[in-house]
Every structure is written in C-alpha cells, then in structure tokens.
Amino acid sequence: MTEPNFEDDLQPSDLSLVLIHLLKGPLYRDTHEKLWGMLLAVRNQVGDHVSVLGLNLVIDEAEGYAYLRSQPDDPGWWPDDNCPSTSACCSPSCVSA
C-alpha cells in the first residue's frame, strides 16, 4: 500500500492567500493583478471569514482597491433579554433603567 502524498494538498488556497494579504494591508488591482482576480472570485467567503473578526471587506472595483475595515460600534449590540444590567451595557433599555 502506498502512502498518500499530502505535499500537493498543502498549497495555500486562493481564499487564504487573499485573506493573508488583506490582513497585512490594502490590495490594489494594478499592483496585485492575480490576487485581485482571486479576491473577486472568493469575495463572499472573504467577507464571511473577516466578519467573525469584527471586520468588513470593502471593495471599490471602479478605483481598483480593497481593504478591511473595523465594523462600526453598535450601542444596541447586547440583546435586551440577556442584558447584564451593568454600567458596561449600552443598550438603550439598560441606560434608561
């Protein structure tokens, strides 16, 4: 029985290459043509992955750049049912209580 060759499977995916680049800084169409094409192909997957980190993917196809931006702070982020009723809670129902 032969051993499977996993070295071929260790090549980074398009998704991981794009994510790593975006986590380092902006991606420009003119400078990184291959990565730009990869980004457009996996844009939804990139958006899903970075949202878990509290980031949004911003792509300006007309200008040819993409970057990651922090998600805006939402003062009502805590569900009212689960409010801990502490000063750290910013929900409008807690603040008025």
**Considering its fold, how many domains does the chain have in total?**
1
pTM of the model: 0.65
The pLDDT of residue 23 is above 50: yes
Query: Residue 61 belongs to a domain with what CATH number?
Result: 1.10.10
97 is a domain residue: no
The pLDDT of residue 30 is above 60: yes
35 is a domain residue: yes
Binned at pLDDT 50, 70 and 90, residue 71 comes out as confident
The pLDDT of residue 97 is above 50: no
Helix axes 14-24, 33-51, angle to 10 degrees: 80
Q: Render pLDDT for 54-67 as a digit per residue (tens, 0 to 9).
A: 999 999 999 999 99
49 is a domain residue: yes
The domain of 15 spans 8-70
75 is a domain residue: no
Mean pLDDT of 42-71: 94
Q: How many C-beta atoms surround the C-beta of residue 64 within 10 A?
A: 15
2 is a domain residue: no
